[in-house]
Structure 1
Amino acid sequence: MAYPGRLTRDNAVLLIVDHQVGLPQGSYHPDLNNREFVGPTIPELQEVLHGIECIERTTVNAWGDPRIVTAVKHTGRKNIVVTGVSTDVCLAFPAMSALADGYAAYTMVDASGAFSKQQAEMGVMRMVQAGVIPVCYSNVAVEILGDNANPEANHVYSALSMPFAGLVTALNQHFSRK
């Protein structure tokens, strides 16, 4: 697949899959139904995404739920950035499915996890073989930022805990005075 071009605010959409309190723990209780097992969205994520619709589903592959596909299509954006709680399932399945539907699919592997190192490695390998583009969350944030002179640059770098965030701020202030 050819490079689809730079990610921007106008051409990319973020799909966050299965970041629920029960899934990262990998616990399962047969007496609970699916909703109780996985639980609500992680509270810290709910706080940041206030006002963004969460679609509860039962399909293993998030892309298998027509409401999710419709929500992504309604954005009009062709670059889909996916993060999923498990690399080999929650991340891989919707990314590969979106790719098959004509989207450029990027997967934030460092914002996803796995129950074993082998599951993570095989999940990434499978996605790469399918044509999905693996990235880190910092790659996505900085690429979308696009310009270190952007007034949001300091916030982006600080949020990413990059040690040179102060330098970017100083440079921005210096060049904005000229």
Structure 2
Amino acid sequence: MSKFIETLTPQNATLLLVDHQVGLFAAVRDYTTAELKHNVVALTKAARVLGVPIVATTTAADSLWGPLAPELVEALPPELEIIDRTTVNAWDDPRVVAAVAATGRRKLIVAGISTEVCLTLPALSATAAGYDVYGVIDASGTFNDTKRATGLLRLQQAGVIVVDHSAVAVEMLADNASPLAGDLYAAVGMDFGILNGQLRQAYGNQS
């Protein structure tokens, strides 16, 4: 049970992004395309600010679902090799398992399209392999309410920790006095961030 109360840190976590491809984005119905793109890009940028390793995959990019969303490609490290596979479950591809294992971290943050397949299946497999898995629901998406509900239930039944993208980011930041805080909040791009910036500017003008 300790995994439910242990803290995520930049030193113990890896981010796995599964199949955020343009053809799948087009079918998502539980988030708007713009909102989902914002969330997964924000999660990716936050991971880079914090130095969290990233593994990213596609499925049959040349024949079925197309490439990764260009906004996500831009946010990823330029040297990162995207693992294109044929398996439905990303964890069934040995390259994905090897890439995650190579980080040496036991906490795995996962997001994917669709929630009930691309997120859930590797999350269950990684849990079975001994990882503490965090499913980022608002950086994932699916095609109808039934798929969303059954995916969430299956994640929870397996002990996957259900989270959202900004909570993951600030949990790993840990301290607002960190020199990374400004870049982290800029990366996450929360709606109230502009107001916070205006407050800081106002207080600065008073000094």
Q: TM-score, normalised by structure 2?
A: 0.74
Give, in whole Å, the separation in 2 of the partners of 1:150 and 1:5: 20
Larger of the two Rg values belongs to structure: 1
Cα shift readout 1:105-139 (whole Å, capped 9, x = no counterpart): 00000111110012111101110000100000011
Give, in whole Å, the separation in 1 of the partners of 2:12 and 2:191: 25
> For 2:85, which of 46, 57, 78 is the aligned residue?
57
Q: Which amino acid aligns with 2:71?
A: E
Give, in whole Å, the separation in 2 of the partners of 1:72 and 1:81: 11
Matched residue, 2:13: 12
- How far off is 1:166 after superposition? 2.4
CA RMSD, Structure 1 to Structure 2 (Å): 2.1
| Higher RCO structure (Cα 8 Å, ≥6 apart) | 2
Give, in whole Å, the separation in 2 of the partners of 1:168 and 1:136: 25
Quickly say closer, same or farther: Cα 1:168–1:145, change in 2 above 3 A: farther
Native 8 Å contact 2:61 2:67 kept in 1: no
Q: What secondary structure, in the 3-state scheme, does the structure 2 residue paired with 1:166 have? A: helix
Native 8 Å contact 1:84 1:91 kept in 2: yes
5 Å-filtered alignment, 1:1-150, equals 1-2=1-2, 3=4, 5-26=6-27, 35-49=62-76, 50-150=78-178
Q: Which amino acid aligns with 2:172?
A: I
Native 8 Å contact 2:115 2:151 kept in 1: yes
Matched residue, 2:189: 160
Native 8 Å contact 1:23 1:85 kept in 2: yes
- How far off is 1:156 after superposition? 2.2
Structure 2, unpaired ranges of 5+: 29-59
Give, in whole Å, the separation in 2 of the partners of 1:168 and 1:141: 22
Q: What secondary structure, in the 3-state scheme, does the structure 2 residue paired with 1:23 have? A: helix
Give, in whole Å, the separation in 2 of the partners of 1:149 and 1:54: 34
Cα shift readout 1:29-70 (whole Å, capped 9, x = no counterpart): xxxx76322111111111111221210000000000000000
Structure 1, unpaired ranges of 5+: 28-32, 174-178
Percent identity for Structure 1 against Structure 2: 48
Native 8 Å contact 1:154 1:169 kept in 2: no
Cα shift readout 1:3-28 (whole Å, capped 9, x = no counterpart): 2611111110000000111122249x
Q: TM-score, normalised by structure 1?
A: 0.85
Q: Which amino acid aligns with 1:63?
A: W
Give, in whole Å, the separation in 2 of the partners of 1:123 and 1:19: 17
Native 8 Å contact 1:7 1:143 kept in 2: yes
- How far off is 1:151 after superposition? 1.9
Give, in whole Å, the separation in 1 of the partners of 2:191 and 2:168: 14
Cα shift readout 1:77-129 (whole Å, capped 9, x = no counterpart): 00000000111000000011000000000000011111001211110111000
Moved more, 148-157 or 9-18: 148-157
